[in-house]
Structure 1
Amino acid sequence: MDDCNFDDVDTKSVSNLTADDVANIDTSQIPFPNTLWHVKPAQEIALKTTAMLVIGVAGIFLNSIILIILIRNKWLWSASNCLIGNLALTDLMTLVICPWFMLVRDFYQNYVLKNFGCRFEGFLQASFLLSSVCAILLVSYDRMAAAALTAEARITIKAAPRLIIASWICSCALSLPWTIKRYYMERQWLDYLESFCVEDVAVLGIYWHFILMLLVWVPLGLMLITYGTIMWRLESSVRELSARGGGRSIARARSRALRITACVLLAGVACRVPYTALIYWRNNLEPLINAVEGSYEIMWFSANFLMYMNCAVNPLIYGFTNARFRKAMDRTPGIACFKFGMWCCICTMLNKKRVQIEDKNTEKVFVIGHSPKPEKKLSRAIKNILHIKKDCLDFSIKADEVTTKPTKVTPVKTEPV
Structure 2
Amino acid sequence: MESTDYDETDTKTTSNWSVDYWENLDPSEHAFPNIIWHVKPAREMAIKSTLMVIVGVLGIFLNSIILIILMKNKWLWSASNYLVANLAFTDLMTLLFCPWFMLVRDFYQQYVLKNFGCRFEGFLQASFLLSSVNAVILVSYDRLAAAALTAEARVTVKAAPKLIIVSWFVACAMALPWAIKRTYQERQWLDYLESFCVEDVQVMGIYWHFLLTLLVWVPLGLMCITYGTIMWRLEWSARELRSRGGGTSVAKARNRAMRITACVLLVAVACRVPYTALIYWMNNLENDIDAVKGGFEIMWFAANFLIYLNCAVNPLIYGFTNIRLRKAMDRTPGVAWFRFGSWCCVCSLFKRKKLQMFDKNTEKIFVIENSPRPNMKLSRAIKHILHINKESVEFSIKVDDVTTKPTKVTPVKTEHA
TM-score norm. by structure 1 comes to: 0.85
Runs of 4+ in 1 over 6 A off after TM superposition: none
What does residue range 248-259 of structure 1 map to in structure 2 within 5 Å?
A: 248-259=248-259
Shift of 1:345: 3.5
The aligned counterpart of 2:174 is 174
What does residue range 251-330 of structure 1 map to in structure 2 within 5 Å?
A: 251-330=251-330
What does residue range 127-166 of structure 1 map to in structure 2 within 5 Å?
A: 127-166=127-166
What does residue range 374-389 of structure 1 map to in structure 2 within 5 Å?
A: none
Q: Distance in 2 between matches of 1:25 and 1:242?
A: 78
- CA 1:327 to 1:20, structure 2 compared with 1: closer, same or farther past 3 Å? farther
Shift of 1:293: 1.0
What does residue range 52-91 of structure 1 map to in structure 2 within 5 Å?
A: 52-91=52-91
- Whether the 8 Å contact between 1:87 and 1:132 is mirrored in structure 2 is yes
- Whether the 8 Å contact between 2:363 and 2:413 is mirrored in structure 1 is no
- Report the secondary structure of 1:10's partner residue: helix
Letter in 1 for 2:63: N
Q: Which runs of 5+ in 2 are unaligned?
A: 1-6, 367-410
Shift of 1:333: 0.6
Q: Distance in 1 between matches of 2:218 and 2:148?
A: 21
- Report the secondary structure of 1:291's partner residue: coil
What does residue range 190-209 of structure 1 map to in structure 2 within 5 Å?
A: 190-209=190-209
Q: Deviations over 1:255-288 (max 9, x none)?
A: 1111110111001100000011011111111111
- CA 1:107 to 1:313, structure 2 compared with 1: closer, same or farther past 3 Å? same
Letter in 2 for 1:414: H
Q: Distance in 1 between matches of 2:294 and 2:25?
A: 27
Q: Deviations over 1:354-377 (max 9, x none)?
A: 1221232345799xxxxxxxxxxx
- CA 1:15 to 1:291, structure 2 compared with 1: closer, same or farther past 3 Å? same
- CA 1:20 to 1:286, structure 2 compared with 1: closer, same or farther past 3 Å? farther
Q: Deviations over 1:173-221 (max 9, x none)?
A: 0000010000111111111000001110100000110111010000000
Given the alignment of the two structures, is residue 49 of structure 1 paired with residue 49 of structure 2, yes or no?
A: yes
- Whether the 8 Å contact between 2:93 and 2:128 is mirrored in structure 1 is yes
Q: Distance in 2 between matches of 1:291 and 1:345?
A: 47
- Report the secondary structure of 1:194's partner residue: strand
The aligned counterpart of 1:413 is 415
- Whether the 8 Å contact between 2:123 and 2:179 is mirrored in structure 1 is yes
- Whether the 8 Å contact between 2:364 and 2:412 is mirrored in structure 1 is no
Q: Distance in 2 between matches of 1:121 and 1:234?
A: 44
- Whether the 8 Å contact between 1:73 and 1:332 is mirrored in structure 2 is yes
Letter in 1 for 2:259: R
- Report the secondary structure of 2:293's partner residue: coil
Q: Deviations over 1:110-166 (max 9, x none)?
A: 111111111011111110000000000000000010111111100000000000000
TM-score norm. by structure 2 comes to: 0.85
Q: Which runs of 5+ in 1 are unaligned?
A: 1-6, 367-408
Q: Distance in 2 between matches of 1:410 and 1:343?
A: 30
- Whether the 8 Å contact between 1:19 and 1:289 is mirrored in structure 2 is no
Q: Distance in 1 between matches of 2:227 and 2:46?
A: 40
Q: Distance in 1 between matches of 2:31 and 2:322?
A: 61
Q: Distance in 2 between matches of 1:175 and 1:20?
A: 32
Q: Distance in 2 between matches of 1:54 and 1:179?
A: 30
Shift of 1:291: 1.1
- Whether the 8 Å contact between 2:183 and 2:198 is mirrored in structure 1 is yes
- CA 1:410 to 1:150, structure 2 compared with 1: closer, same or farther past 3 Å? farther
Letter in 2 for 1:65: I
Q: Distance in 2 between matches of 1:40 and 1:245?
A: 68
The aligned counterpart of 2:185 is 185
Letter in 1 for 2:282: R
- Whether the 8 Å contact between 1:363 and 1:414 is mirrored in structure 2 is no
- Report the secondary structure of 1:225's partner residue: helix
Q: Distance in 2 between matches of 1:20 and 1:194?
A: 20
- Whether the 8 Å contact between 1:56 and 1:312 is mirrored in structure 2 is yes
Q: Distance in 2 between matches of 1:254 and 1:20?
A: 63
Q: Distance in 1 between matches of 2:115 and 2:17?
A: 26
The aligned counterpart of 1:25 is 25
The aligned counterpart of 1:347 is 347
Shift of 1:292: 1.1
Q: Distance in 1 between matches of 2:16 and 2:119?
A: 29
- Whether the 8 Å contact between 2:216 and 2:276 is mirrored in structure 1 is yes
Shift of 1:311: 0.3
- Report the secondary structure of 1:274's partner residue: helix
Q: Distance in 2 between matches of 1:176 and 1:248?
A: 51
Given the alignment of the two structures, is residue 14 of structure 1 paired with residue 24 of structure 2, yes or no?
A: no
How many corresponding residue pairs? 366
Q: Distance in 2 between matches of 1:238 and 1:410?
A: 18
- CA 1:102 to 1:137, structure 2 compared with 1: closer, same or farther past 3 Å? same
